[in-house]
Structure 1
Amino acid sequence: MGLSWKAHRTLTPRAFDSLLRSLSPSPSAAAAAVLVHSQLLTRGLLPPTSTSGYFNTKLLQLYADGGDLLSALHLFDVLPQPNVFAWTPIIAFLSRSGDHLICLNSYSRMRAAGISPDGYILPVAIRSACHTFTTTALHADAVKFCAATNIYVNNALITAYADSGDIVSARLVFASMDTRNLLSWNSMISAFSSAGSIHALLELLPAMASDGYDPDIVTWNIIMDGFCRVGRCAEAVKIFDRIADPNVVSYTTIILGHARSMHHEDALEIFRRMVGGSACPPDQDTLSCVVACCRHLGAPNAGREVHARGIKTLEPAAFYCSAGAALVAIYAGSNRITTAKRVFGLMDPADLMKENALIAGLAHAGMTGEAVDHFNAMQSRGIGTDPTTISSVLPACSMIQAQQIHAHAIRNYYDHATEVSNALISAYARSGCIVAARSTFSAAHLTRDVVTWNSMITAYGSHGLGEEALALAREMARVGPRPNTITFTSILAACSHAGLVDQGLEWFESLTKEMSLAPVTAQYACMVDMLSRAGRFEEAVMFIRRMGLRASAGVWGAIMAASRAHGNVEFGKLAFDELAVIEPENAGNYVTMAGIYARAGRWEEGKIVRRMMERKCEVKPSGYSWIQME
């Protein structure tokens, strides 16, 4: 602080007050507060020597704001009657630290002590609200204690209601505000964005301008996120391109949005733009997301490039903390086990994520025995598990092993582990036990998320139970979370496998128009496959022509496969001509087309296709093996 001991001895209570007021909340101020603290004790200005708790309260505020909770609590405990000014820094620290349950319990203790909340402590407590019931109770306190008109209280209420899925209440709070600031508008826009209500979100922008506020970069980042959440990534990119100086949050938002919509290639392309031409370097969150995209694409070489950039530009500990688990998974998933274990060894020894990543990577690489062995070794070494451990090992488990791990999960944390339920549903369905999958889904009625519903719909669809899948989809639309692009694909795939063509067409219209979900290649492929399987080739081709995207090889491949099954030469030839342009060196297309001609007795045309294949494709000579002995 730059004060001599002599200067301390001349300080009066008024001077101490001025000094404490001059210290800004920071770790360095907390260190300076220690020196002031000792002088206040020496002069008897703190309880129990003093009957006034004023200096005590000011000190504990500095300690709590500077991150020293223990010192703050020590001062708090000696106060005979802590007031709202003493409670506020304690509750704020707990909220900032993510200890939301303890934060709310502390608020309840304060209220039980008869302390009235004010416009400073209520926003802090509201930020820790975990569901609508808690938010409503805090909202009632705001009304009761005349803080309902406080702009910061209302901004916090909008966010809390939105986070708990209660958009109606969030909108009512917003509509009731006499005065709004930019944060108010961004909070409401974020609420609609999180709910996927793009139309309502866009309606706010003219009203925002009328209120005298222009969207800032935070606004645009939120809007981009909203478009990506409903699969409208192309529109999100248009917004991104209009931002004059996108920041690292802008890049991370658009990359993560594409990744969530399974557009991993596009996410990597945006990352290349970021590192190639922008003045905005990626941070550890960006790199972690990009590594995850590489893992989903099975692109270890791209992952290595991001790995190299990460260790060059970031502190290794920070980089491996955020991206290490994904790197382990991508290397293990591509059978580079030595490299995976090298990264594994560079991560924090106490980091359970690295254990989970190695298990997930081994399972993804098809090394199921090694994945289960590593899980068992963790148990024998006394290393604890978490829900991610369980969900990582389940894809590698046999039916009996899945049942054993199911029992382990029930004993430990199953009632609160949504991801475990999701993995169990998939594991049971993969093993052919749809009854056990449905039982797991039903048991998770309090903790289901969109992945839980998607997993069960996919399970029904993969077993040919299309009607059951659609019944569940209707229930999800009525009482569950908002469907996403994965739900879209799962519903259409279920219709395709069960031959429910008309229902599939109806769902496609509903999901694209009523739910504002933008179809992607996977969904178009499902529709074309469904129509083709039913022999409705004209409709399938018309559907392709109406697509907003260029038809992929998978889309035309569905037409060709169905043409072979139905013996339809005309549409088989149409699909083959398209595939010959898209992937001219794929020998399988030529073989399939030759087979279609052969079944129709058109031998000469079949021979022509085979000669085309010999010219354009590298065909393995019959009677030889690819194995070379050295």
Structure 2
Amino acid sequence: MAYLLTLLRLSLLLQLLLGLLPLIRLLLPAKDRRTRSTIGHTLVSCKWVFVIKHAADGTVDRLKARLVARGFTQQHGLDYEEIFSLVAKLNTTGGDLLSALHLFDVLPQPNVFAWTPIIAFLSRSGDHLLCLNAYSRMRAAGISPDGYVLPVAIRSARPTFFTTTALHADAVKFGAATNIYVNNALITAYADSGDIVSARLVFASMDARNLLSWNSMISAFSSAGSIHTLPELLLAMASDGYDPDIVTWNIIMDGFCRAGRCAEAVEIFDRIADPNVVSYTTIILGHARSMHHEDALEIFRRMVGGGTCPPDQDTLSCVVACCRHLGAPNAGREVHARGIKTLEPAAFYCSAGAALVAIYAASNRITTAKRVFGLMDPADLMKENALIAGLAHAGMTGEAVDHFKAMQSRGIGTDPTTISSVLPACSMIQVQQIHAHAIRIYYDHATEVSNALISAYARSGCIAAARSMFSAAHLTRDVVTWNSMITAYGSHGLGGEALALAREMAQVGPRPNTITFTSILAACSHAGLVDQGLEWFERLTKEMSLAPVTAQYACMVDMLSRAGRFEEAVMFIRKMGVRASAGVWGAIMAASRAHGNVEFGKLAFDELAVIEPENAGNYVTMAGIYARAGRWEEGKIVRRMMERKCEVKPSGYSWIQME
């Protein structure tokens, strides 16, 4: 039996090596490859060009081309049908790499027209490094590039500035610098590498431009955030005789969305007479990037409600991500149903499966989450990360840690996201174990992991370890790192340290965001630093132009009411400019109970009775305030109100174990 197994392994190894031979042959230098047969004499170049072009160029008369090519290949002993099928296969998405490489086994002297479909196929397949390698081999063989192969190579080079520059030099050297398709590709490549100046110089040097040229230039400025230049470009485009098409408007919409100006992007979208799927995806993705997830969902509903433009894979994956951010499982189910109805299930789950797993797990629908998990690719690490994060978010910490351990036992690799997903579910000892695992696989300095470790150590009560992680991450800190440490100090009542770190962040760190705002105010509230909290609120809103949201207002009200400054807290609510949430009034009522202040407790209770009339906790708190003040009759009235408006929970029972 062992002998047979050995023979089987050798046979499989031999088949693998034979399958890799065409790839090895292409990657070898041209001088090391085997000399090809010239079939007695050098082939006539122009005829061979015709053979290749007739398969690649749809404008050639197919019947005539077949007849001429068949006669030529038969004359020189070549297998015409094999050559034709291989070249045609390169121009379809169903081709494969081995077929592309096999073309070189039947071409006696491949020229630029033979290399072009090979390079194009590799670029279309996403093998950009191999595509550029093939271009280099072509150049090493002494073959000059033309206006067909250069745009393909340039598209594979972006966004690498130096490779783009080298290909630009080739275009100048071989007389293709005036080719409109080469220049269009160069504009896009330079823009993708962040060199808007070179993109503009190429555009300015063009003697003739087409609509693609203008769209490429508009895309370059939009991607660079230069929205103010777009009106000037549109006027110049009109004077050149070109009207914007739907591609132009999609590019402009994307530029406004990237700049955070979603309202203006919507105005452009509404002016498009017949928006296509790219238009909808662009505006939905733009709102998602700006954290306007509800608006993104509304546009999606408008899209599917019209019925004329079905969503594609990109649209659906973006909308599922919006549902995940909103914590909206019902909307997620709707998009899930739409996805499996519109797309092939494998394609849909490939792009949106991880987000669906997270949505269902976070809403305690673990069975559904695991069902989606089972339908996804077994090798997909994203689904593992999503399930762990969802279990942790749902409070099922034991299952989250067990799933992580099962991954290790099955030999499934981990990445920084896996580690950062499981840490919120860990106890102190488990945090240390995961930290050791991260060190062992060299992920301990990954920013995502460092941030999660700071929060995990702080949550476990070890503020010294959290500070040590923050200090060790001095080269990779981002805004989340600073926010995590400020939050850690605040949750431990170390308001002074939190504010000192906030001042350091303002001087040497990244720009504070809305999470930083909330963390600073929460730290001031927990430490009783009322005056400092008021100063930071003014500084963050005026100097740093951060618009306060409900969470920050709640922190301010909580801070003032904890200090017994109820008049200021209520005045602050009146000046908010937005309707106070239940959390804001709840902070006042909780502080009123602590301070025994019936007046402001009653004020907060009256507001809460309108906002959430069925919340029994509010009635219990108000009854307690009355009882503490000795106003028993009023307390009884509140409890009777609770019995009428709220669902009364059954009494609980305590269990003891008898020997």
Normalised TM-score (structure 2):
0.67
CA distance in 2, matches of 1:177, 1:537: 69
Structure 1 pair 43–247 and aligned structure 2 pair: CA distance change class (3 A) = closer
Superposed displacement of residue 316, structure 1: 1.6
Conserved? CA contact 1:30–1:62, under 8 Å: no
CA distance in 2, matches of 1:34, 1:251: 43
SS in structure 2 of the partner of residue 416 of structure 1: coil
CA distance in 1, matches of 2:98, 2:19: 26
Superposed displacement of residue 241, structure 1: 4.8
Conserved? CA contact 2:623–2:636, under 8 Å: yes
Greater alpha carbon shift after TM alignment, 371-380 vs 84-93:
84-93
Superposed displacement of residue 581, structure 1: 1.8
Structure 1 pair 465–110 and aligned structure 2 pair: CA distance change class (3 A) = farther
Conserved? CA contact 1:119–1:153, under 8 Å: yes
SS in structure 2 of the partner of residue 414 of structure 1: coil
1:246-272 CA distance string (max 9 Å, x none): 433444444445555555555444433
Conserved? CA contact 1:415–1:444, under 8 Å: no
Conserved? CA contact 2:284–2:296, under 8 Å: yes
SS in structure 1 of the partner of residue 537 of structure 2: helix
Greater alpha carbon shift after TM alignment, 71-80 vs 545-554:
71-80
Greater alpha carbon shift after TM alignment, 316-325 vs 240-249:
240-249
Equivalent residue for 1:6? none
1:352-501 to 2 correspondences below 5 Å: 352-412=381-441, 414=443, 418-441=447-470, 443=472, 451-452=480-481, 454-465=483-494, 485-494=514-523, 496-497=525-526
Equivalent residue for 1:34? 51
Superposed displacement of residue 352, structure 1: 3.0
Superposed displacement of residue 584, structure 1: 1.6
Identity of aligned residues (%): 91
CA distance in 2, matches of 1:396, 1:314: 35
Conserved? CA contact 1:559–1:571, under 8 Å: yes
CA distance in 1, matches of 2:141, 2:243: 44
Greater alpha carbon shift after TM alignment, 32-41 vs 525-534:
32-41
Structure 1 pair 319–68 and aligned structure 2 pair: CA distance change class (3 A) = closer
CA distance in 1, matches of 2:471, 2:297: 38
Structure 1 pair 251–58 and aligned structure 2 pair: CA distance change class (3 A) = closer
Equivalent residue for 1:79? 107
Count of residues in correspondence between the two structures: 611
CA distance in 2, matches of 1:435, 1:12: 56
CA distance in 2, matches of 1:503, 1:169: 49
Residue of 4, 22, 31 corresponding to 1:16 = 31
CA distance in 2, matches of 1:64, 1:33: 19
Conserved? CA contact 1:329–1:360, under 8 Å: yes
Conserved? CA contact 2:487–2:520, under 8 Å: yes
Q: Give unmatched runs, 5+ long, in structure 1.
A: 4-8, 46-56
Greater alpha carbon shift after TM alignment, 168-177 vs 381-390:
168-177
1:217-276 CA distance string (max 9 Å, x none): 556656666666677766665665555444334444444455555555554444333333
Conserved? CA contact 2:303–2:310, under 8 Å: yes
Conserved? CA contact 1:91–1:103, under 8 Å: yes
Residue of 133, 139, 157 corresponding to 1:105 = 133
Superposed displacement of residue 320, structure 1: 1.9
1:511-550 to 2 correspondences below 5 Å: 519-530=548-559, 532-533=561-562, 540-541=569-570, 544-545=573-574, 547=576, 549-550=578-579
Structure 1 pair 244–10 and aligned structure 2 pair: CA distance change class (3 A) = closer
Conserved? CA contact 1:33–1:59, under 8 Å: no
Conserved? CA contact 1:378–1:384, under 8 Å: yes
CA distance in 1, matches of 2:617, 2:428: 35
Superposed displacement of residue 361, structure 1: 2.8
Conserved? CA contact 2:86–2:99, under 8 Å: no
Greater alpha carbon shift after TM alignment, 501-510 vs 427-436:
501-510
Structure 1 pair 357–206 and aligned structure 2 pair: CA distance change class (3 A) = same
SS in structure 1 of the partner of residue 542 of structure 2: helix
Superposed displacement of residue 436, structure 1: 4.0
Conserved? CA contact 2:52–2:113, under 8 Å: no
CA distance in 1, matches of 2:416, 2:523: 29
1:436-472 CA distance string (max 9 Å, x none): 4455455556665555555445445444555665666
Conserved? CA contact 1:327–1:340, under 8 Å: yes
Conserved? CA contact 2:86–2:100, under 8 Å: no
Structure 1 pair 19–77 and aligned structure 2 pair: CA distance change class (3 A) = closer
Conserved? CA contact 1:27–1:67, under 8 Å: no
SS in structure 1 of the partner of residue 207 of structure 2: coil
Superposed displacement of residue 304, structure 1: 3.1
Structure 1 pair 298–108 and aligned structure 2 pair: CA distance change class (3 A) = same
CA distance in 2, matches of 1:415, 1:612: 55
Superposed displacement of residue 167, structure 1: 8.2
Conserved? CA contact 1:65–1:89, under 8 Å: no
Structure 1 pair 470–106 and aligned structure 2 pair: CA distance change class (3 A) = farther
Conserved? CA contact 1:63–1:71, under 8 Å: no
Conserved? CA contact 1:425–1:437, under 8 Å: yes
Superposed displacement of residue 10, structure 1: 31
Conserved? CA contact 1:26–1:65, under 8 Å: no
CA distance in 2, matches of 1:246, 1:200: 24
Greater alpha carbon shift after TM alignment, 135-144 vs 27-36:
27-36
Structure 1 pair 34–111 and aligned structure 2 pair: CA distance change class (3 A) = closer
CA distance in 2, matches of 1:524, 1:607: 32
Equivalent residue for 1:90? 118
Conserved? CA contact 1:161–1:169, under 8 Å: yes
CA distance in 1, matches of 2:43, 2:284: 34
Superposed displacement of residue 583, structure 1: 1.4
Structure 1 pair 217–439 and aligned structure 2 pair: CA distance change class (3 A) = farther
Equivalent residue for 2:87? 59
Higher relative contact order (CA 8 A, sep 6+): 1
Superposed displacement of residue 576, structure 1: 3.1
Superposed displacement of residue 580, structure 1: 2.1
Equivalent residue for 2:599? 570
CA distance in 1, matches of 2:490, 2:294: 27
SS in structure 2 of the partner of residue 43 of structure 1: helix
Superposed displacement of residue 565, structure 1: 4.5
Structure 1 pair 473–269 and aligned structure 2 pair: CA distance change class (3 A) = farther
Greater alpha carbon shift after TM alignment, 36-45 vs 591-600:
36-45
Structure 1 pair 222–44 and aligned structure 2 pair: CA distance change class (3 A) = closer
Superposed displacement of residue 315, structure 1: 1.3
1:460-499 CA distance string (max 9 Å, x none): 5444555665666667677766665545544554555455
Greater alpha carbon shift after TM alignment, 425-434 vs 535-544:
535-544
CA distance in 2, matches of 1:292, 1:28: 54
CA distance in 2, matches of 1:503, 1:207: 54
Structure 1 pair 493–227 and aligned structure 2 pair: CA distance change class (3 A) = farther
Superposed displacement of residue 318, structure 1: 1.4
CA distance in 2, matches of 1:427, 1:167: 43
Structure 1 pair 497–285 and aligned structure 2 pair: CA distance change class (3 A) = farther
Conserved? CA contact 2:256–2:264, under 8 Å: yes
Structure 1 pair 458–337 and aligned structure 2 pair: CA distance change class (3 A) = same
Structure 1 pair 617–233 and aligned structure 2 pair: CA distance change class (3 A) = farther
SS in structure 2 of the partner of residue 563 of structure 1: helix
Q: Give unmatched runs, 5+ long, in structure 2.
A: 1-17, 55-64, 73-84
Structure 1 pair 442–623 and aligned structure 2 pair: CA distance change class (3 A) = closer
Equivalent residue for 1:203? 232
1:560-584 CA distance string (max 9 Å, x none): 3344445555544443333222212
Superposed displacement of residue 149, structure 1: 9.3
Structure 1 pair 246–42 and aligned structure 2 pair: CA distance change class (3 A) = closer
Superposed displacement of residue 314, structure 1: 1.9
CA distance in 1, matches of 2:340, 2:510: 39
CA distance in 2, matches of 1:312, 1:622: 47
Structure 1 pair 17–365 and aligned structure 2 pair: CA distance change class (3 A) = closer
Conserved? CA contact 1:60–1:89, under 8 Å: no
Superposed displacement of residue 556, structure 1: 3.1
Conserved? CA contact 2:392–2:422, under 8 Å: yes
CA distance in 1, matches of 2:525, 2:371: 44
CA distance in 2, matches of 1:496, 1:515: 21
CA distance in 2, matches of 1:371, 1:195: 42
Superposed displacement of residue 322, structure 1: 2.0
Conserved? CA contact 1:20–1:58, under 8 Å: no
SS in structure 1 of the partner of residue 585 of structure 2: helix
Equivalent residue for 2:158? 130
Superposed displacement of residue 526, structure 1: 4.1
CA distance in 2, matches of 1:472, 1:144: 56
Greater alpha carbon shift after TM alignment, 569-578 vs 126-135:
126-135
Conserved? CA contact 2:119–2:135, under 8 Å: yes
Structure 1 pair 256–121 and aligned structure 2 pair: CA distance change class (3 A) = same
